[in-house]
């Protein structure tokens, strides 16, 4: 399953709920304001680092760039472009958008 989080972890609890429900071998894609969760020094850094041990964690590069956070990406988190987003949707049989 591909879990997609687009809300800031500082405004909604979507990321926390997602991380509780995600199973090893699944993937997490952070898009829009969700990319703030994958930044060094954030309150969510330890949770994302832990998630990287059991999930494949990705961020949408254009959203990271648009927010000026590219240099602060947590090690272990991979970036994808729009084509990569499509590839992830194709790779995982199901996806869930956490609102």
pLDDT of residue 5: 98
pLDDT at 14: 96
pTM of the model: 0.96
Decide the pairing of beta strands 78-80 and 2-5.
Answer: unpaired
Per 3-state DSSP, the chain is made up of helix, strand and coil in percentages (nearest 5) of 45, 20, 35
* Strand extents, DSSP E, 1-99: 2-5, 27-30, 56-60, 78-80, 95-98
What CATH number does the domain containing 58 carry?
3.40.1260.10
Show the domain range for 71.
2-98
Q: How high is the pLDDT of residue 63?
A: 98
Identify the bridge partners of residue 95 per DSSP, sorted by sequence position: 2
Q: What is the pLDDT of residues 34-88, one digit of tens each?
A: 999 999 999 999 999 999 999 999 999 999 999 999 999 999 999 999 999 999 9
Q: How many domains does the chain have?
A: 1
Question: What is the structure's pLDDT at 3?
Answer: 98
């Amino acid at each position: 399953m591909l879990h997609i989080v687009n809300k800031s972890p500082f405004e909604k609890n979507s990321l926390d709920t997602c991380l509780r429900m995600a199973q090893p071998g699944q993937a997490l894609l952070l898009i829009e304001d969700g990319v703030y969760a994958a930044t060094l020094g954030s309150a969510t850094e330890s949770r994302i680092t832990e998630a990287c041990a059991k999930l494949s964690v990705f961020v949408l590069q254009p959203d990271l760039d648009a927010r000026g956070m590219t240099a602060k990406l947590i090690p272990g988190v991979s970036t994808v472009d729009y084509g990569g987003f499509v590839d992830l949707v194709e790779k995982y049989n199901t996806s869930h958008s956490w609102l």
